[in-house]
Amino acid sequence: MFSKSLFVSGSLSLLAVLTLSGCGGAPYAAGLSQELPMPNDVPGKIFYVEGKEAWRSPSGGYNAKTRNIHILQNTADLTLSEGYRYFSFERPVELSNFDGSMINTAKEFIDKCTPSEGQILDIGNARCGLNGTTVKASVLFVAFKEAPKTILSYDAKEVKAYLQENKLYREDSYEVNEAEVTKFLSKQTKIPQKKQ
């Protein structure tokens, strides 16, 4: 059975470790559970994904903006590639649709979770709980095959289309590397698994 308190407590320390670990290489992605029942809602599967800056610019605002949009892109792409259609962010808490975030479109995400490209200093670049100073940042999200009834969710197809139409979609993506993510996770938290 899904234990949200176990998941939430472990995911906070997990995100801190993963966000601060390594700068090089492709952003990682991994499935962290089998499909789990959500309280009073449709089942979903928990995933981890990272986003990375387009390139290291002198502008802290530009760096955080490209990285945060890459997180959104990678979340939508991973959702679709795994056979799901909708997703809701779980962590960081400021972005969590489970904890009351009302953001659920690509436009809203970009407006509220990305700083101005002209913002040279890193001060104020940690929007929606996404650290403003790291090359990579990570999120935990839950993917659904149908739209949840009690949790706001993003439509992954609409997110991808919006990013493509607005020339924000990047050709670089993520690397599914469950072994590397598991190494990070194994000392941080126990990932909830559906009992067989």
* Per-residue pLDDT tens digits of the chain, which is 196 residues long: 444 444 444 443 344 333 434 445 778 888 888 888 877 788 999 999 988 877 666 566 677 788 899 999 999 999 999 999 999 999 999 999 999 999 999 999 999 988 766 555 545 556 788 875 677 888 999 999 999 999 999 999 999 999 999 999 999 888 888 888 877 666 555 445 545 4
State the pLDDT at residue 123.
55
State the pLDDT at residue 104.
96
Domain range enclosing 152: 4-186
Does residue 191 lie in a domain region?
no
| Cα 20-26-29 angle, rounded to 5 deg | 80
State the pLDDT at residue 88.
96
State the pLDDT at residue 135.
76
169 closest CA partner among 76, 89, 37, 43:
76
Does residue 193 lie in a domain region?
no
Cα 93 to Cα 101: distance, rounded to the nearest angstrom: 8
State the pLDDT at residue 124.
52
State the pLDDT at residue 65.
83
The residues facing 139 across adjacent strands are 49
Does residue 196 lie in a domain region?
no
DSSP secondary structure string, 96-127? -TTTT----SHHHHHHHHS--TT--SSTT--G
Domain count, the chain: 1
Burial code (b: 16+ CB inside 10 Å, e: under 16) for 46-64 equals: bbbbbbbbeeeeebbbbbb
Does residue 147 lie in a domain region?
yes
State the pLDDT at residue 1.
44
Does residue 53 lie in a domain region?
yes
State the pLDDT at residue 99.
92
**pTM (predicted TM-score):** 0.78
Cα 161 to Cα 100: distance, rounded to the nearest angstrom: 25
Does residue 195 lie in a domain region?
no
State the pLDDT at residue 34.
84
State the pLDDT at residue 9.
40
Phi, psi of 164 (to 5 degrees): -70, -45
Contact (Cβ atoms closer than 8 angstroms) between residue 145 and residue 83: yes
105 closest CA partner among 41, 182, 161:
161
Does residue 194 lie in a domain region?
no
115 upstream amide cis, omega within 30 of 0: no
Does residue 192 lie in a domain region?
no
